[in-house]
Amino acid sequence: MKQKILCVVGTRPEAIKMAPVINLLKQQEWVDCRVLATAQHRQMLDQVLDVFDITPDIDLNIMRPNQTLPELTARLLLELDQVLAAETPAAVLAQGDTTTVMAVAMACFYRRIPFGHIEAGLRTGDMSNPFPEEMNRVVAGNLARWHFAPTEGSRANLLRESFAAEAIHMTGNTVIDALLDVVDRCGPSPYTPAAGRRLILMTSHRRENFGAPFEEVCRAVRDLVDRNPDVELLYPVHPNPNVRDTAHRMLGGHDRIKLCDPLDYLPFVAAMKQAYFILSDSGGVQEEAPALGKPVLVLRHETERPEAVQEGVVRLVGTNYDHIITTAQRLLDDKQEYAAMAKGVSPYGDGKASERIVQILRATLS
Ligand code: UD1
Ligand code: UDP
């Protein structure tokens, strides 16, 4: 008999990281793979599902403009409970640390349905950073039947929290599966700087940076571009109004700063390949860029992804004006420093994480 596995996706990064698992589960004769989109993100989720040719079986269409965390959480829980009651899956899978994932884990707990947490065990140890993601992953981890940890470090975090060793599986991160799937077919970069100029790619969306910290980042970035006539900046702006309005107000109208809407995954990967380096507070970008040999300066004070920092290819610059300018300028000026950060390593996986996850599920479910 086939086992029904319900795969849940809510936001852009979840869809990217779940896509390799979903597409592999669909090929298994022992699995009835069902896909549930909460659509915590609408446009950005649909962009990714199209790229990976995934059509949700159920779509909750949850997103509202400028949604608050309590209203999002409450609506997710109620709607997810109804889906679980109707679907009665043998297992549910979700990835990462968004509100969708926390709500899925809780809804499964109330219905006593086994929950598998993909990208388990990431921790900063600080509930306020990132906010609310650290809480989301702690809750999801506490309710998981399977912990699919991407690295030895994340496995060690879970062991330290006293989860049963048999329930923790080191698989690598599925983001590398997704990246390797598209990297050779991502096409030309969506933006080409003028001849002789270098491209800096930027993304930013963290809630704990909203307001003054993000404004300071924008000031630093604008001044960095002003000081370096051979530099252009491409910034696909996250649609969260707290980001979009500030980004356009502070970075708009500059002839070497190009602001655009979020890019589809393939052109974004092409832009990462073209970039000289990347400025970002994104989790996924911290994992992908090292595999592409691109240095990342992380616009945060801490990270739950220390492996690439230890490799020397990702550096934390926070949101301080002077620190951002000094570190970015050194990377632009010092060829040796740049080469050391652009060496190309992949501490987050080998592209086979989804195979391992499916094998582990098979061993316990089929
Ligand atoms: C969410 C996740 C964050 C993740 C990020 C990835 C939570 C609390 N936050 O942050 O962990 O890193 O996604 O991008 O789970 N919007 C649109 N269209 C879209 C997506 C968002 O218009 O396709 C706008 C809407 O106004 C929406 C707002 O952005 O209300 C915020 O979306 P939300 O999912 O709550 O938070 P993010 O900041 O996107
Ligand atoms: N990404 C994308 N288009 C963009 C910006 C990012 O496809 O314009 C991809 C990126 O390659 C990575 C993922 O989106 O795989 C990261 O998503 P985001 O930064 O929104 O969330 P986080 O990873 O921080 O949770």
The whole-number mean pLDDT for each consecutive block of 10 residues of the chain, a chain of 366 residues, reads: 97 98 98 98 98 98 97 98 98 98 98 98 97 98 98 98 98 98 96 97 97 98 98 98 97 98 98 98 98 98 98 98 98 98 97 98 95
* Two tokens, residue 68: 């608050």
Cα 194 vs. chain centroid, distance in angstroms?
30
How far apart are alpha carbons 159 and 146 in whole angstroms? 13
Which ligand is the nearest neighbour of the Cα of 268? 2
Which ligand is the nearest neighbour of the Cα of 40? 1
Helix/strand/coil percentages in the chain, nearest 5? 50, 15, 35
What is the number of other CB atoms lying within 10 angstroms of the CB of residue 334? 12
- What integer pLDDT is reported at residue 366 of this predicted model? 87
Does the CB atom of residue 306 touch ligand 1 within 6 A? Answer: no
Which ligand is the nearest neighbour of the Cα of 348? 2
Does residue 97 carry a catalytic annotation?
yes
The set of residues, in sequence order, having a beta carbon less than 8 Å from that of 181 and lying 6+ positions away, is 20
How far apart are alpha carbons 262 and 46 in whole angstroms? 12
Does the CB atom of residue 132 touch ligand 2 within 6 A? Answer: no
Does residue 133 carry a catalytic annotation?
yes
Q: Ligand 1, residues 17, 38, 40, 127: which to mutate, most atoms within 8 A of Cβ?
A: 40
DSSP string, 190-240: S--PPTTPEEEEEE---GGGTTHHHHHHHHHHHHHHHH-TTEEEEEE--S-
Atom of ligand 1 minimally distant from the CA of 46? 23
Does the CB atom of residue 263 touch ligand 2 within 6 A? Answer: yes
- What integer pLDDT is reported at residue 294 of this predicted model? 98
Q: Domains along the chain?
A: 3-173+349-365 (3.40.50.2000), 198-341 (3.40.50.2000)
The set of residues, in sequence order, having a beta carbon less than 8 Å from that of 304 and lying 6+ positions away, is 122, 123, 124, 130, 134, 137, 283
Largest CA distance in the chain: 65
Does residue 29 carry a catalytic annotation?
no
With both helix axes pointing from N to C terminus, report the angle between 212-227 and 321-333 in degrees, rounded to the nearest 10.
30
What is the torsion angle, in degrees rounded to the nearest 10, for the CA atoms of residue 205, residue 211, residue 216 and residue 218?
50
Has this prediction a pTM greater than 0.95?
A: yes
Does the CB atom of residue 236 touch ligand 2 within 6 A? Answer: yes
Instruction: Give the closest residue to 155 by CA, choosing from 174, 140, 136, 168.
Output: 168
Question: What distance in angstroms lies between residue 342's CA and the mean position of ligand 1's atoms?
Answer: 30
* Two tokens, residue 62: 């949850």
Catalytic choice (111, 145, 197, 207): 207
Does the CB atom of residue 41 touch ligand 2 within 6 A? Answer: no
Q: How far is CA 236 from CA 109, 231, 262, in A?
A: 37, 17, 5
The set of residues, in sequence order, having a beta carbon less than 8 Å from that of 139 and lying 6+ positions away, is 102, 105, 106
Instruction: Give the closest residue to 265 by CA, choosing from 324, 348, 180.
Output: 180
Question: What distance in angstroms lies between residue 311's CA and the mean position of ligand 1's atoms?
Answer: 30
Does residue 50 carry a catalytic annotation?
no
Does the CB atom of residue 43 touch ligand 1 within 6 A? Answer: yes
